[in-house]
Structure 1
Amino acid sequence: MSLSSPSTTGGLLSNIYAGSSSDSETSDYTTDDESEYTDDEDDDDESDISELPEDEPAPPPRPVKPSNGKIRVHWAKSDDDTDVTNFREELGPPAMEFPFELDDFQKRAVLRVSHGDSVFVAAHTSAGKTAVAEYAIANAIKQGGRAIYTSPIKALSNQKYREFTEKFDSVGVITGDVSINPLANVVIMTTEILRTMLYRKDESLANIKTVIFDEVHFVNDPDRGVVWEECIILMPPDDKPYLLMDNKGVFNTAAYRKIYDEIRAAEAPAPNAKQAAGKGKGRGKGKGKGKGKGVHRGPAPKQPLTGESKIRLETQKLQGMIKALEADDKLPATVFVFSRVRCERYAMGMPHLDLLSGSAERSKVHVFLKESFSKLDETDRDLPQIQAVTDLALRGIGVHHGGLLPIVKEAVEILFSRGHIKVLFATETFAMGVNMPARSVIFSSIRKHDGSKFRYLLPTEYTQMSGRAGRRGLDSVGNVYVLAAEELPDLKALTTTMTSKHTPLQSQFKLTFQMLLQMAKLTHWKAEDLMSRSYLENARAMQLPTARRDLQRLKKRQGDLPKLECVLGEEDMHRYAKLELKSRHMASDLYGTLFNTDHKKVFCRGRLVMVWSLPDIKASSPAVILGSSPPSMSTSVVATVDVLVVLRKPVPGSSPAGDSGYTVRIKNLPVKSGLLLVTNHALPNGVDFSDAFGLAREMRRCEDAGQFDEPLELGKNLKQIQTEYFDTLIGVKDLTKAKMKSKCHRCHLRQEHFDLVVEEGQIEDDIEDLEFKIDDSSLYLAPARERMLRALVDLGELDKDTMQITLKGRAASELVLGDELTLTELLFRNEFGEADVPSCVALVCCFACDSGVSQMSHEAAEALLPPETVKLLEQAMETHGKVAEILTKERVETDWTEFDKQLCLGIAPLAYAWAKGVPFAELMTAEPIQSKEDEEVYYSLWKPGDKPLQEGAVVRSIQRCDELFRRLGKAAGVMGSTEVVEKVEKCREAIRRDIVFALSLYLEQDGQRQASKAVDEAGEKEGCPVEEVS
């Protein structure tokens, strides 16, 4: 088997296009809360793409025609059955040793990696994909190079950093706010940061021998899938191998097999036993792969419950299940709950459940938590959330969701990985955690709210979560339970969730204003380069080799056509052909309508007609109707006629007719698409219709008499024909008269020359279609690109005449986080330079608000703020509205719900208070908050009874606010506004404090803590492109 080398292309997706399949399947990740539809991780890291190399040309397109002349070839194959009996001999000296025997799929993948091939590993959750990644890293280091490991979220990057530091000597991590050893042998980063480095052609990418993409199913994420595509497209054209990893069955990887060997795991490391638990404890054995025989039902409750009663019942059932699992030695367990509130309600509803083994284990938990939180201020350590999580952990219970503080989530994860958390109540994003399987998994429900409605889990969602059941090397089977406290789930829906095929992969590539601005800054790159290489254009790209080949053939055929030479010395056939083609179009509607009126009798036997849709003749020919058939379901859904056609030259199926030429009988000729002209004449009575010879002779006589040139006359009885069709009848007559005036009409070369002209025209049309298909204007997003460019011109970010980027556009290109259009307008109006620091923070945080933060109305928010801040927010709203008017004017496709969410004034009072120095603990209380700096200002952020603020969402909002300020500072630098640059630094100083910017626990080594540098310091000392934070 031979693989194509990525060295021949500027984007790996080019490899996909040479014959890839489009039947891919993918997962559809949705939100984890009934009422708040945000993911609980920092999933919107924005890359700094402001420093692209302006003299770097776009990589050339990948050659799609190999030396053997074939258009389509298979670049890779699925490798599920390669014999690995002699694995050691084939591998040679290994790059690293494992303390366990590798599974067959791991051996196959390791062999491919060692051969320098790019590999797609599709294996069950916890099956051991990471082992393949570790070998790929070790192999790169063995060759004297470096490796990059990408993950979808910052938290996962931090976890991987901690994991890899235990296995490799030189490990680095780059996240939005932290950079540790960025030039290490192996560097972990988010996919957004890799995109940043690729755009900037960063020097730290030198000597990279392999790149590993984890959780590749994010290609299908509506918001972030484009980032994965950009990274694959922008990969430099060299010989480094790539390793893609994902869960088996998350989607069909056929489209990716054209660039990677695909290795699949045959079975999960610990097959799942599944059962549904109803009123009883859900005990009983159920082993299988998700088919009906592996699903066991327990009895249902007698009547449905609602509200508090339902939650209490579910909590009781869960506690009973947990106790049963403890007795059966089936802990630890993960309970997946699709609501952050219910996560906490379930955990807090079991105050007497204690799962720790004794005081010794409890002491370990206490010491770890005390040490983890020791860096926090005393007020932060006393936060109710920290106290509640601590109390639960001291009983072996954990909670994990997006509303938790990052440091709290990390503490829970570490305790769970060490075996001290016996039961973890978690939202579905925990299923993406690093190597944290449990012995059992419990679904509190198999229905969830996806942001618009409640629905059953998708098969991919179920697979991702249930795959956490069963610990590799420890459990022979993983146990999966579905709680059915209120009613048993529908068996059909349950079976579908467990066994159905997954959602087909759909590209999420989309154009953004930021992308267009970055492309406008470059000389040799343009947006079409990215668009044409995206998976969105996969079908088009697969057709391009054939289209180019067909275009060459058509042009050669066009050049080989004989030149039309008129014996009369005139070039009238082209005009004549246009008249005939126009007649065909008019006749189609006319005769189809006539057949459905009383005038259908004109389609009688013996009627002289002109027909045109013959298989081997392009010109029209004289014919006589032998019979007609109305529309019928048993015969034809359209009206048809049987005709005898007389021809000058023979065609397949024709018969000689002496001096009259040749005849051919056509059965069931459609009236609408076969008749060019119904004449006003018919053959005389007494004609023998069984004598084709005689019919042909009579038809030639009629032709010589001009009877085939006289259109049908219907007299004055036209009441059943609409006026428009009467006009068409007149038009047919006029066209017939115009054709009769042409010398071509009665020329004996009419048929031959007409066929030549029609062929010329068809070739020209086909060439035009193929040239359009090959041209960038045929790209799916080309119209959207034109509309967006016009909007940028209207905003003054592109020059109208040259389409070059302006100073304003260069400033906007720095704002890769938030609403760059509105923020740029505010910058150029100097709104930030004139406002005070707390007001600036309040405004910018509105553009960086996490959707998990409880929102108050704009009116309520403005009532809590001083007048000058309210005025600033009103100006921002007005500017936001003007941008919307421009997008509407240029018909830019916009999700207006998301557009409105880009400016969320409800968080402004909280951000204002934080900038004033209010402690985090006070922000989370329901009591009126008094500023330490201004005794007259109070901040009653929310009242008792309101939905509580989620600490994790608040932290993410402030962190994003800090990152957005950093970007605003760069934009102000482009403008040359030192005043705004200084204001931005003061704003950042006001918010970068306390628990909001606490160091990740994963960045501290056991027994040795490594100091972390902030973004700016790391960038200055290491030359590292650290950009994102969320």
Structure 2
Amino acid sequence: MSRGKNDSAAPLIPGPGPAFAEFARGFSFTLDPYQRDGCAVVEDGAGVLIAAPTGAGKTVVGEFAVFLALRQGRRCFYTTPIKALSNQKFHDLVERFGPSHVGLLTGDTSINPDADVVVMTTEVLRNMIYARSAALRNLGFVVMDEVHYLADRFRGAVWEEVIIGLAPDVQLVSLSATVSNAEEFGDWLAEVRGDVRVVLSERRPVPLFQHVMAGRRLYDLFSEEAPTASDVPVAGEVNPELVQLAKQDSRFVRDDSRHRRGRRTRDRIERNAAQRGDRGPNLVPRRDGAVEKLEAEGLLPAIYFIFSRAGCDQAVGQLLHSGLRLTSAAERARLDAIADTVATNLSAEDLAALDFATFREGLRRGIAAHHAGMLPAFKEAVEQGFVEGLVKVVFATETLALGINMPARSVVLEKLVKYNGEAHVDITPGEYTQLTGRAGRRGIDVEGHAVVLWQRDIDPRHVAGLASRRTYPLRSSFTPTYNMTVNMIGRVGRERARGLLEQSFAQYQTDRSVVGVARAIARNNDKIAALWADASCEQGDFEEYARLRADVSQVQADAARSRRTDRRAESLSALLELAPGDIIGIPAGRHEGWAVVVDPGVRRDRANPSPTVMTQERQLKKLSVHDFPSPPVVAARMRIPKHFDPRQAKDRRNLGAAFLAKLAGMDTRPSRYVAAAMDAEAQERITQLRSALQAHPCHTCPDREEHARAAEKALRLERDTADLRRQVERRSTTIAVRFDKICSVLTGLGYLTDDAEQVTPAGSMLARIYSELDLVAAESMRAGLFDELDPAELAAVASSLTYESRGADAKRPSRMPNRSTEIAQSSLRHIWRDLSLMERDHKLDASREPDIGFAEATYAWASGRDLADVLADNDLTAGDFVRSMRMVIDLLGQLADAAGAGVVRTRARDAIDLLRRGVVSAAYDEDD
């Protein structure tokens, strides 16, 4: 299917021109109709959106744009979302068009940057646009590969910034995976770029068969073994053998709700069933058994998806332990050579720390893992071996489904449930399509195969639903940031910048939803009127009374919220000041009441003080900052005996007696040790409202609480409706409203002039910092926070602006490496807290909290520590370590650029030199 914009009478897709005929002669196969249509649109001078299944050959249209640019004497930029894909595309284009015509820019790497064709990451092009780079002159074409990445919540905004910011005369060639709202996305592109036409293909170049493996048997998912030749619904019924098998298996498990029962409960149920002798056959395939079955059926090479890094590594270990070998002698020799290339840039100590021997043994057997926790060099070796057909099975996490070109004959899904960072959830039809889309290698396989492994709670009809629904909508993640704002204002001024933001895909999608929102408002208004009728009271105006009650709650909530942000920091600060003999009030929790400090507990860890106290019950307890939702107040002091030993009962009795005697002479009312919960103004307002409540005639109504329940529902629905109404009222300014709030913050801090129309020198500095915590970094630099740090210390503190702990890492206690960094980090957190309060005042979401979880590792590496020690001490995988270190290096480079001549620039560059060694340096060498 191909179409253009709103003119059905016009020939939307022209016939192929002479340039295409010349281009097509370079291929040994006939191009598909959608590829010919896409190239014809480009040759006709229009932009194009190509949306086609994974592996369908979309990049042919991108390569035609490159061909046309060279033919016309114009430049072409080929952008990709990740550096690895940029490297891969660079080598592809060099092979096709020659090294003199093709360059590469990824931020870390610069090869032939003045070439007619330059491959780059999308961020590089965004930065060029903001800097008004001379490289944009004579730019005729931009290819945006994997443009559906604009849905990525962390980096997606970059794609929209580029699409909006490119000069109008640049032809845009957008390549996307199949999405269910491609027409909507195409309409938006035409709105902001002019003549853009959409070319859709739902046909897979290699038909895809769907299977379920139970035990050692491979079942067809559909009764007629119908392949999925497209992303449209599959014809055919679910295989009745699978349906019957699921019924039989469910009788043995006797578990009617896997979502309500945890793994331990299910395991217990199955153990009990086994003891009764009615467990039934175990149909869940072993990993080694599944791979052996695939080999026997001729379905290798395979990508075997396991939604866990540890699970991928365990699977490789299991296959090695089983003795499975999938390669010939010649293949093993070639894989040994690939592995040896990886080892070239690494020391023997590093290789040992990375368990290279196990990796090499797996690789030479044709077995490997592929996930973000691996060293980039290891992953590239796996990719190379797989592309050459030498690696037969790769155990991978879902990240492999994006970007890198690694098609397989079959794809295996071990489970249909994954952890999304908060809970275990079912994968969506769109995710299923993305994962299984790699099955079937064009020009090699006549068919591809998707294999779902049997699980105790599997429902074949659910699997069929995943396999037969095209539901992968593209949703914009675009939102203005501080850096984006100063860059756009610096480039085009505030008003035009605001107008450009209103052209975003996010705004476009918001506008189209207004009709549904208006209908919801009308329905809500009817419900609100009915609820107020239910709340009517014979004694007076109950709506007035209910709003008074709501005002009391709101004032209390606002006051508590205004205190909550700083309360933990205040508590921590107060705990650090405690001394032995201080009598403090514990405001809440199990130990609420009075206590005397025996040991302040700050010698080992000032970031997490843990004072030991004696309570009123004469018990010795160790406390933490969590016991102090309000800062402790020192009400009095007493002497702790010099040789007090908490292990001696006599010492405890004597101290307890002295403590109680001290308390007897004190004012021990709770108000003396509970820190003030709100300011005086809020307290006065609450007193006034409560007086009005008590004086209201409805206050004495015997049915007051019954009326109140209906009123509370009405008020809650009113708040929801007000939110919906604001969406309608601001439908053309949703993005712009956030932009205005950001401008207010930046004006108040001096990054924009008082009228917010121009960027100040401080704003120009902020424009060079692209970190998620860009404003925190800029404010820290302006405060001179980095000035006194040596390079290793600067790197450690900078890491808190780039690192974000995930999963179990978020619970691991962390600290700064030394006193200097601790002081700097404390100042940085004060800056973050002040900015958070400012964001709250402007009704902006607060920036995420700085995270010191990588600081010790960064400092250790910058100080020359061995890789094995750094990984072991910080419980890091090699891949996470290298990726996180590169993020620190990127930020240090930005700080150096932003700082200008001086000590910070010098030390930031020195820090980069310290960090770029060993495996980190090797990762940059691989990019080259």
**TM bracket (short chain):** 0.5 to 0.7
Q: Which amino acid letter does the alignment assign opposite residue 789 of structure 1?
A: C
Q: Measure how far apart 1:429 and its partner are.
A: 1.8
Provide structure 2 residue ranges, at least 5 long, that are not aligned to the other structure. 256-261, 271-281, 515-528, 539-695, 699-725
Residue number in structure 1 paired with 2:121? 190
Distance in 2, matches of 1:970 and 1:1000, equals 20
Superposition deviation, residue 418 in structure 1: 0.5
Return closer, same or farther for 1:90/1:922 CA change in 2, 3 Å cut-off: closer
Matched, 1:279 2:211: no
Task: Tell me if structure 2 keeps the 8 A contact 1:532–1:776.
Answer: no
- Structure 1 position 265 matched with structure 2 position 194: no
Q: CA deviation at 1:521?
A: 2.9
1:213 to 141, 144, 165: 144
| Residue aligning to 2:54 | 125
Tell me how far 1:129 sits from its aligned partner.
Answer: 1.3
Among residues 187, 210, 227, which one is paired with 1:288 in the alignment?
Answer: 227
Q: Distance in 1 between matches of 2:10 and 2:373?
A: 44
Mapped contact 2:368–2:391 kept (Cα < 8 A)? yes
Corresponding residue SS for 2:50: strand
> Post-superposition shift, 1:417?
0.4
Map of 1:247 onto structure 2: 177
In structure 2, what residue type is equivalent to 1:380? D
Match of 1:671 in 2: none
- 1:441 CA drift (Å): 0.7
Question: What is the CA distance between 1:341 and its match in structure 2?
Answer: 1.3
Pairing 1:100–2:29 present: yes
1:120 touches 1:262 (CA, 8 Å); kept in 2?
Answer: yes
1:528 alignment partner, one of 484, 498, 501: 498
The correspondence for 1:988, drawn from 912, 917, 920, is: 912
Q: Contact 1:826 / 1:832 at 8 angstroms: preserved in 2?
A: yes
Question: Contact 1:158 / 1:1000 at 8 angstroms: preserved in 2?
Answer: no
Residue 362 of structure 1 deviates from its aligned partner by: 0.6
Q: What is the correspondence of 1:786-935 to structure 2 with a 5 Å cutoff?
A: 786-800=740-754, 804-849=758-803, 851=805, 855=809, 860-862=814-816, 865-894=817-846, 899-900=848-849, 903-925=850-872
What letter corresponds to residue 956 of structure 1 in structure 2?
Answer: R
Q: Name the SS for the 2:856 alignment partner.
A: helix
Give 3-state SS (helix, strand or coil) of 1:834's partner: coil
Q: Please state whether the residue corresponding to 1:253 is helix, strand or coil.
A: helix
Aligned to 2:734, the other structure's residue is in SS state coil
Match of 1:431 among 396, 401, 404: 401
Deviations 1:41-65 (A, max 9, x none): xxxxxxxxxxxxxxxxxxxxxxxxx
**One-letter code aligned to 2:196:** Y
Report if aligned partners of 2:476, 2:505 keep a CA contact under 8 Å in 1: yes
Distance 1:294 1:235, change over 3 A: farther
Shift of 1:315: 8.8
Question: For 1:146, which of 75, 78, 97 is the aligned residue?
Answer: 75
> One-letter code of the match for 1:450?
N
In structure 1, the residue matched to 2:108 is 177
The aligned counterpart of 1:622 is none
Which position in structure 1 is the counterpart of 2:464?
Answer: 495
Which whole-Å deviations, capped at 9, do the CAs of 1:448-501 have from their partners, x for residues lacking one? 12223222222221111111111112222111100113332x244323322234
The Cα of 1:144 is off from its aligned counterpart by 2.2
Asked whether the equivalents of residues 502 and 735 of structure 2 are also in contact (C-alpha less than 8 Å), the reply is: no
Q: For residues 986 and 907 of structure 1, do their structure 2 counterparts lie closer, same or farther at Cα, with a shift above 3 Å needed? A: same
- 1:254/1:881 Cα in 2 relative to 1: closer, same or farther (>3 Å)? closer
**1:78 Cα deviation from its structure 2 partner:** 7.4
Of residues 309, 321, 328, the one that matches 2:297 is 328
* Residue 425 of structure 1: how far off its partner (Å): 0.7
- Residue 910 of structure 1: CA displacement? 0.8
Give the direction of change, closer, same or farther, for the CA distance of 1:378–1:853 in structure 2 (3 Å limit): farther
Residue type at the aligned position of 1:965: L
Deviation (angstroms), 1:922: 2.2
C-alpha distance 858-231 of structure 1, shift in aligned 2 (>3 A): same
Contact 2:440/2:448 (<8 A) preserved:
yes
- Name the residue aligned to 2:640: none
Measured after TM superposition, the shift of residue 190 of structure 1 is 1.1
SS of residue paired to 2:395: strand
Aligned equivalents of 1:367 and 1:269: distance in 2?
33
Name the CA shift for 1:362/1:906 in 2 (closer, same or farther; >3 Å). Answer: same
Give 2:411's aligned residue. Answer: 441
Q: 1:93: how far off?
A: 3.9
Distance 2:843 2:42 in 1: 48
1:293-314 Cα distance to aligned partner (Å, 9 max, x none): 375465456548958999xx89
Partners of 1:849 and 1:76 in 2: CA distance: 53
Change (3 A) 1:377 1:75: farther
Which protein is bigger by CA-based radius of gyration?
1
Q: What are the Cα deviations for residues 104-155 of structure 1, in whole angstroms up to 9, with x where unaligned?
A: 2222223223333322222221111122222222222122223221111111
Q: State the 1:374 CA deviation.
A: 0.5
Match of 1:578 in 2: none
Kindly state the Cα deviation for residue 414 of structure 1 after the two structures are TM-superposed.
0.7
2:212, 2:219 within 8 Å by CA — same for their partners in 1? Answer: no
**Superposed, which structure 2 residues align to 1:32-111 within 5 Å?**
91-94=20-23, 96-111=25-40
**Contact in 1 for aligned 2:2/2:199 (Cα 8 Å):** no
2:135 aligned residue? 204
Alignment check: 8 A CA contact 1:95 1:142 kept: no
Kindly indicate whether residue 483 of structure 2 is the aligned counterpart of residue 514 of structure 1: yes
CA contact (8 A) 2:81 2:145 kept: yes
Instruction: Give deviations 1:666-720, integer Å, cap 9, x for gaps.
Output: xxxxxxxxxxxxxxxxxxxxxxxxxxxxxxxxxxxxxxxxxxxxxxxxxxxxxxx
- Aligned identity (percent) is 29
Superposed displacement of residue 178, structure 1? 0.5
Superposition pairs of residues 671-686 of structure 1, within 5 angstroms:
none
* SS of match in other structure, 1:419: coil
Deviation at residue 774 of structure 1 after TM alignment: 14
Alpha-carbon offset, residue 272 of structure 1? 0.9
- SS at 2:218's partner residue? coil
Give the distance between the partners of 1:194 and 1:486, measured in 2 at CA: 49
Mapping of 1:731-742 within 5 angstroms? none
Q: Distance in 1 between matches of 2:814 and 2:173?
A: 51
Tell me by how many angstroms 1:395 deviates.
0.7
CA contact (8 A) 2:2 2:200 kept: no
Change beyond 3 A, Cα 1:597–1:972? closer
Q: Which amino acid counterpart does residue 881 of structure 1 have in structure 2? A: R
Could you tell me whether the CA contact under 8 Å between 1:174 and 1:180 is conserved in 2? yes
Match of 1:716 in 2: none
For the structure 1 residues 74 and 219, does the alpha-carbon distance in structure 2 shift closer, same or farther, using more than 3 Å as the test? farther
Distance, in Å, in 1 between the alignment partners of 2:18 and 2:26 is: 14
Structure 1 residues 189, 854: CA separation in 2 closer, same or farther (over 3 Å shift)?
farther
Task: Tell me the secondary structure at the aligned position of residue 471 of structure 1.
Answer: coil
Deviations 1:619-670, CA, capped at 9 Å, x for gaps: xxxxxxxxxxxxxxxxxxxxxxxxxxxxxxxxxxxxxxxxxxxxxxxxxxxx
| 1:591-626 C-alpha deviation (Å, 9 max, x unpaired) | x99xx999xxxxxxxxxxxxxxxxxxxxxxxxxxxx
* Pairing 1:274-673 to 2, within 5 Å after superposition: 274-283=210-219, 286-289=225-228, 291=234, 293=236, 296=239, 298=242, 299=245, 302-303=252-253, 317-351=286-320, 352-488=322-458, 490-522=459-491, 524=493, 526-538=496-508
Pair 850,887 (structure 1): closer, same or farther in 2 beyond 3 Å: closer
Check whether the contact 1:784–1:893 (CA below 8 A) recurs between aligned residues. no
C-alpha RMSD of the superposition = 3.7
State the 1:426 CA deviation. 0.8
Contact between 1:915 and 1:990, CA under 8 Å: does it hold in 2?
Answer: yes
899, 903, 920: which one aligns with 1:972? 899
Q: Number of aligned pairs? A: 682
Greater relative contact order (Cα < 8 A, sep 6+): 1
TM-score scaled by structure 1?
0.61
Counterpart CA distance in 2 for 1:857 and 1:326 is 42
Q: What 5-or-longer segments of structure 1 have no aligned partner? A: 5-19, 21-71, 545-588, 599-721, 725-771, 926-940, 943-947, 1004-1011, 1013-1030
Cα distance in structure 1, aligned partners of 2:749 and 2:71:
53
